Amino acid sequence: MGFSVTITSSIILIVLFTLSTSFLITVFQGLKEISYIAEEYANQEREKLDVDLQLEVYPINGTSCTITVKNVGSRTVFFEDQRGFKWNTIIVSYGNSSFWKSYPIENYTILEVKVSGTNYTFTPKSHRYIETGEEASIFFNIPEGAPEIPLNGLVSVIFVSHYGVIAKGEAVREQ
């Protein structure tokens, strides 16, 4: 009976050692993953702090708008890649006292990229981004079949950058 107790005790100790080792490895791996996720989150939040955009809405007609997005932060804001994928979204909302419509706009055209406050322009096809101190004029149409922007109707435009930072602007359609 003494020998079987020794063998049983040894087996139980080996099982307990294996279970505790597996548990500790799992805990340390989990802590490592949590640390990595927290670091990535902090880096993304840091990027957002470095992005600062301003937006102006002008001229507005019944079916289209032109906006100017200015980069006053320290990060570059990209508009599209070499294959034409658009990195940002424009959300337009408009209406008056009788109705209100909102649409996401993915199909927009970069009319001009220039250094803010100057007449120095870049070719939008080769300069698909705005650096600090640059601005871009962007043209878009409201979706086909959507009601026209009413005269004296309020238009609110939100530019959502690929960083998750937004710029907002409002205007009134006067003509």
- Per-residue model confidence (pLDDT) at position 142: 95
Question: Phi/psi at 84 (nearest 5 deg)?
Answer: 95, 5
Q: Domain limits of the chain?
A: 1-50, 52-172
First to last CA, the chain: 102
Mean pLDDT of 92-109: 93
* Count of residues making up the chain: 175
pTM here?
0.76
Residues 137/58, Cβ–Cβ less than 8 Å:
no
CA geometry: angle at 112 spanning 156 and 63, to 5°? 40
Give me the half-sphere count of Cα atoms (radius 13 Å) on the Cβ side of residue 98.
5
Helical ranges in the chain per DSSP H: 2-50
- Alpha carbon distance 169, 94 (integer Å): 12
Nearest Cα to Cα of residue 73 among 92, 55, 49: 49
**What is the pLDDT averaged over residues 33-49?**
85
Tell which CATH architecture fits domain 52-172: Sandwich (2.60)
- What does each C-alpha distance from 38 to 48, 84, 136, 172 come to in angstroms? 15, 33, 34, 43
- pLDDT, residue 2, reads 65
Report pLDDT digits (tens) over 113-154. 999 999 999 988 889 999 999 999 999 999 999 999 999 999
